[in-house]
Amino acid sequence: MENLKIWLKKNGSTAVLTVLFIILLVNKDAKAWLMRQVASTGILNSGISDAKETKNTSSHASYNGFILKNEDGTMIDVSALQNKVIFINFWASWCPPCRAEFPSVQKLYDQYRNHPDFVFLTVNLDDNVSLGKSYLKEKGFTVPFLVSAGNIPDVLYSGSLPTTVVLDKKGEIRLHHKGLADYSKDSFYKQIDELLNEKP
């Protein structure tokens, strides 16, 4: 016991860092918290591209067949959402970067939830749907809980979580971001407002 006390006095900071590292490895919420601190700097964020840029690329795709289902079983055909700005976030409850960015996703939802030209689609990709629902309930998130009712077009999602896509009123992809980001920044709200003000 005496040897342990001597070792801790000499190596206290190492012991503390080791314990913190183990907590980060094991605890999803601890990982999410650390990632959230990094994301809050904004260095991981992507910006919404200019409409002129999307005309020169193949960013417009057919979303026919991309159907989502809400908790009530109502089907949403994404290709039928005309003249709307659409925010799509693919996430899973087991994914630490998804957990890290979710508070900012909730803030974005709160900011635009009542806007008639803004559609918010948070698509859960948990193998067990109840895990995603439980996560939202446990954390007090109120974003729409949606699951895919068929195939997801590769142009929107290719396997990386989280993935966020923003479509403009013409259905053009104006943002396609793989990985963690902070969607609660005023600079991002300004970009969304600019999209909302564009004519279809």
pLDDT interval class at 29 (50, 70, 90):
confident
Residues of the chain with CATH 3.40.30.10: 60-197
What value does the mean pLDDT take over residues 58-73? 79
Residue range 155-186, pLDDT digits in tens: 999 999 999 999 999 999 999 999 999 999 99
Average pLDDT over residues 7-34: 61
Average pLDDT, stretch 136-156? Answer: 95
Is 196:117 a contact under the CB 8 Å cutoff? yes
CA distance 31 to 23: 8
Residue 56 confidence (pLDDT) above 50: no
Confidence of residue 43 (pLDDT cuts 50, 70, 90): low
pLDDT: is 96 or 2 the higher one?
A: 96
pLDDT, residue 44, reads 59
Residues 16, 82: Cα–Cα separation, whole Å: 54
- C-alpha dist (Å) from residue 25 to 57, 92, 99, 135, 144: 40, 18, 15, 19, 30
Q: What is the pLDDT of residue 57?
A: 47
- More confident site: 61 or 136: 136
Mean predicted confidence (pLDDT) in 22-34: 63
- CATH superfamily of the 60-197 domain: Glutaredoxin (3.40.30.10)
